[in-house]
Structure 1
């Protein structure tokens, strides 16, 4: 069995982007783009690993610290493909060129994925993280990174994938501000984004939406901090968000009250959003189960 780790890094997200996979000091590779996103780097790391080991008749076990990547390959991709590369809500799949490449590369392969917490001392993950960061830093400095030895006997590497306009990560800020919706509309869409699988599978995207002093009182009455939610965040069953009220209670502060409904329960929720620079971030959230 081949055991490897794959990781990605984007400085600024989007920004100079690196990706890397690592088996050992004699078998690793890295690359990237002058401008890309973290999710692109994470996806490309796995894609290149699959391509470079395609000539080997061995099982492949991949450690990833991105649940977005793992869920893309193991849970979502088949459904997206059946729907003509559309998500369940009818929207186009992000990073489609990479996702389709993964679909092709997975055909006939025996691959398992295992999530590992990033920056927690996992030897292979730490090595892949260092290489991905080094590649991103190289592109920031305007030079090519060390692409590594690759895998012995691997098929010739394809030309690097060129990305001229990377699709935005699911923080949604730039697109919302460019379209100039009202502040209330921006906050509602950001709240909706926190319920999506894409965002909840990427702790970095969630972190961008939560204020450093964020707190939550959940339906159970438990008080949680930003650090706790980032450690626990994961996709959830589909939630329907119905706005009850949304108002700017003071300059740069918006209170959103909404009803969240799933197949099993309904809850009234309130979220306090504050503007920090050019972004809206959630400062407080509370949920109460409806009878």
Structure 2
């Protein structure tokens, strides 16, 4: 018998009130959350609780449907390499979300399972049901009301919905986590082709040349960045223009702080972000995140060539970047998503 379940996470603010959920059917699902967490932590917690909830049927094959490339690749691709390197990434920095990954490593040992990537918010019944419950849990924590936890898995031992402690331990020292785990047990993990490839093809290698070589992750940096970047204009009573905001955000993405903190810049990318890199390769947001998880690349200096407003909700920024590899002519399309500017498209062309 195969147990098919979707697992999903949600964070309102990222980080902010967070929720997670797994779903088999209306009579078999579970959800929970914390007052403060990230989307990735919610995704990891959903999968962890699913394995715990099915631990009493270890001989059943577990088919996990997940829209997070980060979670799938953490479990099916990166974990062995992280262990060999002492639970550090390719750039020598500690792996994020320590406690959750430790617990996942223990729970999957000896289990039979398959991960399958599904596109989120695309009408997949199980994924939509898990997403709805994860978001409901996050919303409940945001509003300070009780979150529905669901019936759970039939026959599973009664267990409390995980508290914030499991996520807060993983998030206690961002960028200073270290992942440990239990390598014991037979490794029966498998992954479908969709789980081991990005949306546009093969998994990118570290340092393969994505925009600035370093982007993305989770926390919302907008209010912090805008307060810091425009303190002078605020003091003079002048509101920063969209062009000024976009230029400041672009420089932030190219700077050393962003390159050293994958979580700081992720929210700047639009969910439909795409890049045509200087190598000619097409990058999606997920592919970029996976590449940066392995290695942040090198910082670059920017020479702004132009900032042109396109209507009221888009700015096209053109500039030249200077890095160790040479100069590249670049263009970035920033769009207004609600009240925040997010990077929708980027292209780089090596300068002759």
Q: For the aligned residues, what is the CA RMSD?
A: 4.3
Q: CA deviation at 1:118?
A: 0.7
2:163 pairs with 160, 163, 172, which one? 160
Check conservation: 2:329, 2:351, Cα contact below 8 A: no
Q: Does 1:173 align with 2:221?
A: yes
**Which residue does 2:15 correspond to in 1?**
14
Check conservation: 2:252, 2:258, Cα contact below 8 A: no
**Which residue does 1:243 correspond to in 2?**
300
Q: CA deviation at 1:242?
A: 5.5
User: Which whole-Å CA distance do the structure 2 matches of 1:232 and 1:187 have between them?
Assistant: 17
Check conservation: 1:259, 1:269, Cα contact below 8 A: no
What CA deviation, in whole Å up to 9, does each residue of 1:93-151 have, x standing for no partner?
A: 11111111111111111111000001111111111011111111111121221111111
Which secondary structure does the structure 2 equivalent of 1:104 belong to? helix
User: Which whole-Å CA distance do the structure 2 matches of 1:258 and 1:106 have between them?
Assistant: 45
What CA deviation, in whole Å up to 9, does each residue of 1:187-246 have, x standing for no partner?
A: 3238965997x89xxxxx75633599x886655889x9xxx9458766349684363545
What CA deviation, in whole Å up to 9, does each residue of 1:137-185 have, x standing for no partner?
A: 111121221111111222342552425584664457379849x699686
Aligned length: 275
User: Which whole-Å CA distance do the structure 1 matches of 2:342 and 2:256 have between them?
Assistant: 9
Which secondary structure does the structure 2 equivalent of 1:241 belong to? coil
**Which residue does 1:257 correspond to in 2?**
321
User: Which whole-Å CA distance do the structure 2 matches of 1:88 and 1:32 have between them?
Assistant: 31
**Which residue does 2:132 correspond to in 1?**
130
Which secondary structure does the structure 1 equivalent of 2:29 belong to? strand
User: Which whole-Å CA distance do the structure 2 matches of 1:267 and 1:85 have between them?
Assistant: 35
Q: Which ranges in structure 1 are unaligned for 5 or more consecutive residues?
A: 200-204
What CA deviation, in whole Å up to 9, does each residue of 1:238-273 have, x standing for no partner?
A: 6843635456978x9794504586xxxx98353559
Q: Which ranges in structure 2 are unaligned for 5 or more consecutive residues?
A: 175-216, 231-247, 308-314
- TM-score of the two chains, using structure 1 as the length reference: 0.74
Relative distance call for 1:193 and 1:143 in structure 2 (3 A) is same
User: Which whole-Å CA distance do the structure 2 matches of 1:215 and 1:108 have between them?
Assistant: 38
1:188 pairs with 243, 248, 254, which one? 254
- TM-score of the two chains, using structure 2 as the length reference: 0.63
User: Which whole-Å CA distance do the structure 2 matches of 1:60 and 1:81 have between them?
Assistant: 24
1:268 pairs with 303, 328, 352, which one? 328
Which secondary structure does the structure 1 equivalent of 2:145 belong to? coil
What are the residue-to-residue correspondences of 1:63-78 with 2, within 5 Å?
Answer: 63-78=65-80
Relative distance call for 1:218 and 1:191 in structure 2 (3 A) is farther
Q: CA deviation at 1:76?
A: 1.3
Relative distance call for 1:217 and 1:104 in structure 2 (3 A) is closer
What are the residue-to-residue correspondences of 1:69-148 with 2, within 5 Å?
Answer: 69-148=71-150
Which secondary structure does the structure 1 equivalent of 2:150 belong to? coil
Check conservation: 1:21, 1:30, Cα contact below 8 A: yes
